[in-house]
Amino acid sequence: MEKGQQAPFSGQLLSPNLAIDLGQKASYCDERLSLELKHTEAKLSIDLTLEKQLRGNEKLTWEAEKKLLMDRLEEAKKPPPWYTHPAFVITVTVIGTFGVTYGIFELATRIK
């Protein structure tokens, strides 16, 4: 058929090279789609596994932080030790200061 000639039927006319190219693409289309689907599924499976591992790590971290905070809260609820009470510290300091002062005074009087 030549350019400008009346076509015997309606539709599109393809060159032999284009027809062969389209035929080859169509014949391997199912295999190509299958390969792309398997590749996409494998990639998404890896992404899902990674996401699950990250969420598991975050959960473990959150549980450890929660336990630490609960332990600190329990520790804060306990009364302080008796030897840290201000009345005890002040009394021991006053007695110690008087004892050291008296000791220095006695030492100074005996050395003369």
Number of H helices, E strands in the chain: 3, 0
Looking at the structure, do residues 93 and 52 belong to the same domain, yes or no? Answer: no
Looking at the structure, do residues 64 and 30 belong to the same domain, yes or no? Answer: yes
pLDDT of residue 43: 97
**Total number of domains in the chain:** 2
User: What is the DSSP secondary-structure string of 26-66?
Assistant: HHTHHHHHHHHHHHHHHHHHHHHHHHHHHHHHHHHHHHHHH
Tell whether the model's pLDDT for residue 1 goes beyond 70.
no
Helix 29-77 and helix 16-27, axial crossing angle in degrees, nearest 10: 40
Tell whether the model's pLDDT for residue 69 goes beyond 80.
yes
Looking at the structure, do residues 109 and 98 belong to the same domain, yes or no? Answer: yes
Whether 42 maps to a domain, the answer reads yes
pLDDT of residue 88: 94
Q: What is the pTM of this model?
A: 0.47
Whether 93 maps to a domain, the answer reads yes
Whether 9 maps to a domain, the answer reads no
Looking at the structure, do residues 73 and 105 belong to the same domain, yes or no? Answer: no
Whether 16 maps to a domain, the answer reads no
